[in-house]
Amino acid sequence: MKCKTVRMSSNFIWAVATAAYQIEGGKDTDGRTPSMWDAIREIPGRIKDGSTKDLSCDGRNKYREDVQLIKSLGVTHYRFSIDWSRVMKNGKTRNPLGMEYYKDLCRELKKEGIKCIVTLFHADLPLDLYNEGSWLTEGIIDRFVEFSRYCYEELNEYVSIWITFNEIRMHAWAGVVKVEGEPFHSLDIDYKKFLGNVSVTRAVMVASRNMLLAHAKVYRLFHEKDDSTRVGIIVGAHSCMDAEGEKISAVSERATKSMVNLYLDPLIHPSNDWTEDMKEYLGTDLPPWSEDEKKLLKNTMDVLCLNYYRPHIVKERKGPSLVEELFNFTMVDDDWPKIGGESSWVRLHPRGLISLLEGLTKKEKEDGMKYPNVPILISENGVNDDPSLDSLEDTNRIQYIEAHIDGILEARRSGINVIGYTAWSLMDNLEWDDGFQSEEKTRTPKMSVDWYRKKIEKERRDETMNKEVK
């Protein structure tokens, strides 16, 4: 056994993240027009805690204060999203007043030496575009391209990484149509009005296809303007393990593929297509790609972004949700620590992230890796407050984040090209259909703020680490 010194890259990304609709408020500010989530929050009973549609973190008005909070964390980057409804009226017409807010935010961040990671689409669609068919219609692709063009023209000088979509699978399955066993994060659109007499699975995969094409078109557009532009896309990092010994097996690999690889393969797999096993399970519900579309999609990813919160234990049996039924697996109970309290869905098991990173980068054939040479950014990772603890003494969050940072460093030591870590979230916020009960706008630092700053300082100071290689 020998020791090898590995340098921790001085440009490793240390970040914190938010999403526009979850923190901004200001729904009638800047000439902003209604979005789908404005409409969802108007429906009685849709928001579980009953919080009103106007309740928010008021981030639109408090952004200068929030930039100082970001600075106090010692992060190098801030990941935030653009509210399409704020910068383009009804999703179609440029709105300079709304764009000026984001330019001001970027200028404030630049002044404090903080770089921007900008997500173009994070779960919230202009209401007019949703009512016109959302991601079920190909017309929305060009709408998204024009929205992205506007953002690029006005903000690119400040942006380190562009992300086209947050969790493309999550939005396709939860944010377009209502699907059995998935979160209900959409209005109840009649997809057959736009697609004819097809299955809900077909509707979901048409939405996925249109988002992937929109991503590829934006990638090509941004690279035509400046080939040094970095563009990525986020997938939810659903790492699955077999119930027998938490190992990788045929069923766990199939489950992971159905929730992760399915949405990456058209972009960076050598085939630039849905893989044959996915075609077998989805059949005619999987819309095909033309040869021109495959060329458009090919290698349209500079950064692979992963949102990770927990792994899943699976068995070979059709489960209750549609995706479990389609891919012949079921998720079963685990005994990992419920780090966010008894009712939380988050689990403390960083090995699940390492396992996924290994699976995504392992050699599939002798001639190369599955997704070769793609830098990986952990674009979200975090845990809710544990109700049994004082909300300001969030020791559970410290334990969770530290374990995952250490896991990422372990992955880096094994040669996996992880370029950064992003903590979710900068502040308590609207948790979609769960709501947001606090009416206070006061920003009060929790124990994890000081801890995260010191952790970053330590890791940036200790740029060399020992790696044991057998």
Distance CA 305, CA 387 (A): 30
State CA 342 to chain mean position distance.
25
Tokens of 443: 């920003």
DSSP letter string, 163-215: EEES-HHHHHHHSSS--TTS---S----THHHH-S--HHHHHHHHHHHHHHHH
Residue 191 makes CB contacts below 8 A (sequence gap 6+) with 136, 176, 177, 198, 200, 203
Q: Which helix (H) or strand (E) holds 99?
A: helix 96-111
What does the radius of gyration of the chain's CA atoms come to, in whole angstroms?
21
Tokens of 150: 């506007």
Active-site residue, from 167, 182, 324, 380? 167
Q: Is residue 157 annotated as a catalytic residue, yes or no? A: no
CA distances from 171 to 41, 68, 205, 282 (A): 17, 32, 11, 19
CA distances from 1 to 161, 303, 467 (A): 39, 34, 11
384: left (phi over 0), alpha (psi -120 to 50) or beta: beta
Residue 351 makes CB contacts below 8 A (sequence gap 6+) with 246, 311, 407
Distance CA 360, CA 163 (A): 19
Distance CA 66, CA 13 (A): 19
Buried b or exposed e, range 46-68, using 16+ CB within 10 angstroms: bbeeebeeebbbebbbbbeebbe
CA distances from 434 to 48, 187, 215, 321, 424 (A): 5, 16, 29, 20, 17
Residue 337 makes CB contacts below 8 A (sequence gap 6+) with 347, 348, 349
Active site residues per annotation = 167
